Amino acid sequence: MSDISTTIEELKQLIHDFVEERDWEQFHSPKNLTMALAIEAAELMEHFQWIDLDASRAIAADPKKLAGVAEEMADVFAYTLALADVLGIDMADTVRAKMVKNIEKYPADEYRGRYGPEDGQQ
Amino acid sequence: MSDISTTIEELKQLIHDFVEERDWEQFHSPKNLTMALAIEAAELMEHFQWIDLDASRAIAADPKKLAGVAEEMADVFAYTLALADVLGIDMADTVRAKMVKNIEKYPADEYRGRYGPEDGQQ
Amino acid sequence: MSDISTTIEELKQLIHDFVEERDWEQFHSPKNLTMALAIEAAELMEHFQWIDLDASRAIAADPKKLAGVAEEMADVFAYTLALADVLGIDMADTVRAKMVKNIEKYPADEYRGRYGPEDGQQ
Amino acid sequence: MSDISTTIEELKQLIHDFVEERDWEQFHSPKNLTMALAIEAAELMEHFQWIDLDASRAIAADPKKLAGVAEEMADVFAYTLALADVLGIDMADTVRAKMVKNIEKYPADEYRGRYGPEDGQQ
């Protein structure tokens, strides 16, 4: 588990260097990067497109399928960090601030087992 | 800059606890999470939908617009980590492995200033 | 059922006039329109994000939810026609040509009840 | 131009028969179809991902690129019609109703040359 020992900045720097070495900053406008991110998110969805919810959970135990999924997740992560890099956004601060908002918006006692005000559907 | 001092695991744990305290694991099938991620990626694109590439770069210097963009990026990041949590994927390993592939696929000398085999368009 | 009596061109013209009367051709570059289309497709997905496959089928019998879904579908349709208009693409010809390809690619006898070469999962 | 002589229903029927002949209704839950639609919309965006707005307009005059774009548009259109078929939605009625709303929401005199309340950016 290298998630335990790797900082956000280390991965951000890895992406930054890759882009800089190829002189690709010219393509990496925020508009283009959000498109790239949405496209990778769609490629990730493709792995789950025709299966039901249980089958999607079972992928966790299928190393071959999991590897394909993980690779798309890497692309999503990399473009998110590339965008953060271009815009000068600190992801750790941003995620923490959003989770504070979410904790206020969805009090645990009120939303336990329900996703929205009206429903508790799966 | 807390990206320098925050590990991937710390943010993953933050999301994990939020979901667990609300008993939301039942909604967080991988299929549903990939849809949630794609939806947030689209909400992020919305901020850049009608502007040109230069205007999208200018957002880095506009604190109010930047805050809106950052919040959508937090959602994308959070759902990616929630998915990694559910599937047992180490994001740091996965991103590093993908970047090794990318470095081989796009040799710096060959791809400097060009994005694909055929074009160098912006 | 006005789908029976309405041509593609009539709807395309409706969109064309709406855009022209507002002098919005300047915003409707193909790049921007594909973003708009992807964003509307994501808004459509939002209605199905946390529910299972059976619950998604049940929406056909829920007039209130169906109206919300139909409105997002109208947006998807409208942006597709706006893009066809800008690029000079005939949608009827294009869909027919693609279905000819699909019929060759997925012979009915071979693909009955299965979605891909390897699986017949729901 | 067969858009002039083709009704929505004719294309909807074409898709309906294709699905029925393969016994694919079982895969075509509304939830799955919205994912399929969003994925095709992303594949359409891919053609415009790294180019600027002017270059995206120029594709209208590039038959080879245009053919690739048109094929993705056919997929978007086909899945939208498949979803309308499954949900029993009349697309012509739905699009007309939405355009009536849009005409009220965006009075031509007020929105001429501007896309939103605050900006007139391209």
The reply to whether residue C121 touches residue A55, judged by beta carbons under 8 angstroms, is yes
Contact D82, C95 (CB under 8 A): no
Flag whether the ipTM exceeds 0.90: yes
Residues 6+ apart with CB under 8 A from A24: B111, B113, B115
Contact B78, A95 (CB under 8 A): yes
Q: Does C75 touch chain B (CB under 8 A)?
A: no
Contact D97, C16 (CB under 8 A): no
Q: Is B51 exposed, middle or buried, given 0-12, 13-18 or 19+ CB atoms closer than 10 A? A: buried
**pLDDT (tens digit, 9 = 90+) per residue, C29-77?**
999 999 999 999 999 999 999 999 999 999 999 999 999 999 999 999 9
Contact A29, B25 (CB under 8 A): no
Report the predicted TM-score, pTM, of the whole model to 2 decimal places. 0.95
Q: Does D24 touch chain B (CB under 8 A)?
A: no
**pLDDT (tens digit, 9 = 90+) per residue, C23-32?**
999 999 999 9
Tokens of A6: 């790797």
Q: Which chains touch C (3 or more CB pairs under 8 A)?
A: A, B, D
The reply to whether residue A27 touches residue D39, judged by beta carbons under 8 angstroms, is no
Q: How many Cα neighbours within 13 Å face the side chain of D75?
A: 22
**pLDDT (tens digit, 9 = 90+) per residue, B43-100?**
999 999 999 999 999 999 999 999 999 999 999 999 999 999 999 999 999 999 999 9
> Shortest CA distance to D95 belongs to which of C20, C31, C8?
C8
**Distance in angstroms (rounded) separating the CA atoms of residues D82 and A31:** 31
CA distances from D4 to A71, C11, C93, C95, D40 (A): 45, 10, 11, 14, 25
Tokens of A48: 């789950």
Q: Which chains touch A (3 or more CB pairs under 8 A)?
A: B, C, D
For the cut 70, the answer to whether the pLDDT of residue B119 exceeds it is no
Sign of CA pseudo-dihedral A12, B71, A44, A66: positive
Residues 6+ apart with CB under 8 A from A7: B3, B4, B5, B6, B7, B8
**pLDDT (tens digit, 9 = 90+) per residue, B10-47?**
999 999 999 999 999 999 999 999 999 999 999 999 99
Q: In this structure, what DSSP letter does residue B60 have?
A: G
Which of B17, B29, B51, B103 to mutate to test binding with chain A, by most A CBs within 10 Å of its CB? Answer: B29
Q: Which amino acid is at A85?
A: D
Tokens of D76: 């978007």
